[in-house]
Amino acid sequence: MSLFRLDASIRVEGSASREIADIVEAGWREGDPAAPVVRRHLGTEPVPATAWAAAVAGSATPAAERTAEQAEAVALAATLTDELVDAEALLFAVPLYNFGVSQHFKTWVDLVITDPRMGPGAPPPLAGRPAVLVTVRGGNYSAGTPREGWDHATSWMRRILEDVWQLDLRVVEREFTLVGVNPALDSFADVAAELKQAAEREAAGHAPHLRSRGSLAA
């Protein structure tokens, strides 16, 4: 039993996405305290934004002719991909920033897709692997709210994880995490508390899904 966990929050203290992902991870780990977890803290230790272009150019260049920068970027893409394909289950915790996908998560995805195992045309090595995406938003984007349709991150993340990589994905969403932080949202305290509890319940409920694959050899 092994887990790959990615966190894209730019903070550690008070991070709502980490809190929800911790619930999923704790449930996954139940009964196997020594189970290994490979972690990527993308928000606090991002992969370099310049690596993607170097990896794209490097992957189109024979290995012996790559520049040092290209060789390094191709190797980094391979390392990131190894972390994914070696894990039996995957957990992603990614907040909404500026109505779009976290730049750190996007950079990481772009780099991973330069690896020949993950690119178009290759049989997806992660197909069917159990995964959970935790996403949190400071505001509320549900139907009928003024910001309905402004979340441009979640659908893209689903496309990549579910459709391109073909993970067997469950999604936990928590909204209104800025209630209690932004005084303009104080009147939503009750609904925010309900949404938090619902997300926590859902997170705990998805833990067995992450264990569903057993071992890669199974």
Ligand X SMILES: Cc1cc2nc3c(=O)[nH]c(=O)nc-3n(C[C@H](O)[C@H](O)[C@H](O)COP(=O)(O)O)c2cc1C
| Minimum distance, C-beta of residue 41 to ligand X, in the bound complex (Å) | 12
56 binds ligand X (CB under 6 A): no
Q: Which two tokens stand for residue 23?
A: 């619930």
For residue 170, list its beta bridge partners. 132
38: left (phi over 0), alpha (psi -120 to 50) or beta: beta
- The binding track of 3-22 with respect to ligand X, each residue x by CB under 6 A or -, is ------x-x---xxxx----
180 binds ligand X (CB under 6 A): no
| Minimum distance, C-beta of residue 161 to ligand X, in the bound complex (Å) | 18
The residue number whose beta carbon is nearest to ligand X equals 138
Q: Which residues contact 61 (CB under 8 A, 6 or more apart)?
A: 70
| Minimum distance, C-beta of residue 30 to ligand X, in the bound complex (Å) | 23
- The binding track of 126-145 with respect to ligand X, each residue x by CB under 6 A or -, is ----------xxxx------
Distances in whole angstroms, Cα of residue 189 to Cα of each of 135, 141, 182, 201: 20, 16, 11, 18
Extended strands (E) in the chain: 3-7, 37-41, 89-95, 130-136, 168-174
Region binding ligand X by CB under 6 A among candidate stretches 75-83, 90-98, 123-131, 154-162:
90-98
- Binders of ligand X in range 93-112 (CB under 6 A): 95-99
Which residues make up the interface to ligand X (CB under 6 A)?
A: 9, 11, 15-18, 95-99, 136-139, 177-178
